[in-house]
Amino acid sequence: MKTKIPTLRERDMSIESDKAKPSAGFSVSRRRFLGASSAATVFTIVPSHVLGQSQDTPAPSNTITYGVIGNGSRKDAGLRGNKAFRKIAVCDVDASHMAKEADGVTRYRDFRELLDQKDIDCVCIATPPHWHAIPCIAAAQAGKDIFCEKPFTKFIAEGRPVVEAVRRYGVVFQIGTFKRFSVNRSIHKLCASGLLKDMKGVVAHAGAKNRTGNPALPGQKIPESLDYDLWLGPAPYKPYNGKRVHYSNRFYWDYEGGDLTNFGFHSFDPIQYQFAKDETGPVEVEPVGSWPQHPDVVGKYDSAVLTYADGFKVVVGNKGTKSVNIGGSRKLDPKELGPQDKAKFDAMPDPPALVKFEEAVRTRQQAGGHAESSHRASTALNLANIAIRLGRKIRWDPVAEKIVGDEEASRLVDIPMRGEWHL
């Protein structure tokens, strides 16, 4: 069933009436209200071709405006080229990343100032992952829908507050990966039906690269264009080196989880949806040939095996970039159900198609790569990294969202933030 989230009018009324919420408030633009409302009032929009525009170009009143937080190599790749969206603002702590923006696009250094711009409908967050959770929560409080690059968050304990903020403020969330939109939905239906009690022997494989960082980087002079303190934000202070920032930041534990959480998200996320694990997580994670790891720098690893309560396993390893395959000794098929269960399965409706970001923004449904599923995927991959870094099996309670019986591993679930930054 598609999850219905509040219309823009309902969302604003809720924010206004809840005095306990630390929201900055949100004023509904005419453009978004016309684009999203469909129930109470009928509006007439002049067709764009009457105004001399191409029929492929939305009328200005029906265009979704967005701002980019993190205008580096990825920036607005997830929305760019979609004529339904129009970029009107960018934000980056490195001024050089905004130098080539077109006239009329407002530039900011601090994302909080961008979120105060009232005519921005949604934000595209393309910062390093250590800067995902705080802007996502702030964007939700400001009433902005969110398109966020993967992975969801840097460490596990950041994820649940983001999920709750998205729900509380009634915004749409979409993670920046799309392979779940084309998975085998009959397998998803079978796994989501509740008719399978035992999935032992079903094994999925998710591939990722394994690029590494350099543990011996010397300190360098900070470029004048870069606000390095703000780039670090909640991350621990380390002397500046160009290899620690921008794209290669992902190979240092302070900012990301290496390619396992980077490319691995592309291959793991569709597996999680296909096998109906969006609301849960593994109960056991065991590394294979991956220890020791440097405390600061992502190193070489082999793989990790994630086992779920029903026996289903996912192997995440460095044998490919984004490869996904289903192996093991057992192939799932509705035909393996008994006659009564097969009849129940056949009577069940097929799962609805996942909703893409544009449709979700306009109809106020939650998007296919929503916050809960994204949090669960990031959690599973972060657990794999924790097992790899410690070189031992860890046990996870997916309901309480806590590591069981391992204090050292638990410290990697909830990492303190630096200075003024907190959730």
Same domain, 85 and 209: no
Supply the DSSP symbol for 288. E
CA distances from 1 to 10, 165, 168, 276, 360 (A): 21, 22, 20, 14, 14
In contact, 142 and 23? CB cutoff 8 Å: yes
Task: State the chain's maximal CA–CA distance in angstroms.
Answer: 71
Q: For 250-302, how does the pLDDT look when each residue is reduced to its tens digit (9 = 90+)?
A: 999 999 999 999 999 999 999 999 999 999 999 999 999 877 899 999 999 99
C-alpha to C-alpha distance for 190 and 318, rounded to whole angstroms? 29
Contact status, residue 78 vs residue 134, Cβ threshold 8 Å:
no
Q: Do 194 and 342 belong to one domain?
A: yes
119 and 49 in a common domain: yes
What is the token pair recorded at 389? 């870094």
Q: What is the CA radius of gyration of the chain?
A: 22
Residues 110/240, Cβ–Cβ less than 8 Å: no
Q: Are residues 245 and 384 in the same domain?
A: yes
Choose the final residue of a domain: 154, 177, 200. Answer: 177
Lowest mean pLDDT among 40-54, 146-160, 267-281: 40-54
- What CA–CA distance (Å, rounded) separates 58 from 42? 18
What is the per-residue pLDDT across 95-144, written as a single tens digit (0 to 9) for each? 999 999 999 999 999 999 999 999 999 999 999 999 999 999 999 999 99
Mean pLDDT for 41-62 is 45
**Are both 309 and 165 inside the same structural domain?**
no
Peptide bond before residue 6 is cis, with ω within 30 degrees of 0: no
Question: pLDDT of 375-405, one tens digit each?
Answer: 999 999 999 999 999 999 999 999 999 999 9
**pLDDT-based confidence at 243, cuts 50/70/90?**
very high
Q: Are residues 142 and 226 in the same domain?
A: no
Q: How far apart are CA 407 and CA 392, in angstroms?
A: 13
Residue 84 contacts residue 106 (beta carbons within 8 Å):
no
Cβ contact 270:227 at 8 Å = no
Are the C-beta atoms of residues 235 and 418 closer than 8 Å to each other?
yes
- The model carries a pTM of 0.86
Give domain status of residue 354, yes or no: no
Domain boundary among 128, 145, 177: 177
What's the structural domain count of the chain?
Answer: 2
358 part of a folded domain: no
Q: Do 120 and 250 belong together in one domain?
A: no
pLDDT at 55 over 90: no
DSSP for 15-67, please give it. HHH-TTS-----PPPHHHHHHH--SS-------GGGGT--TTSPPGGGPEEEE
Whether residue 158 lies inside any domain: the answer is yes
User: 256 with 70: CB under 8 angstroms?
Assistant: no
Final residue belonging to a domain, choices 150, 177, 204: 177
Which domain range does residue 62 map to? 8-177
In a domain, residue 112? The reply is: yes
Does one domain contain both 221 and 93?
no
Do 80 and 209 reside in the same domain of the chain? no
Give the CATH number, domain containing residue 237. Answer: 3.30.360
- The predicted pLDDT at position 328 comes to 73
The answer on 184 and 57 residing in a single domain is no
Do 202 and 173 share a structural domain? no
Q: Would residue 421 count as lying in a domain?
A: no
Task: Report the CATH number that the domain containing residue 78 is assigned in CATH.
Answer: 3.40.50.720
Residue 168 CB partners (closer than 8 Å, separation 6+): 21, 140
- 249 belongs to a structural domain: yes
Say if residue 361's pLDDT is above 80.
yes
End-to-end CA distance of the chain: 31
Residue 422 lies in a domain: no
Residue 148 CB coordination number (10 Å): 29
- Would you tell me the crossing angle of helices 156-168 and 133-141 to the nearest 10 degrees? 10
In a domain, 419, yes or no: no
Instruction: Read off the amino acid at residue 346.
Output: D
Same domain, 114 and 245: no
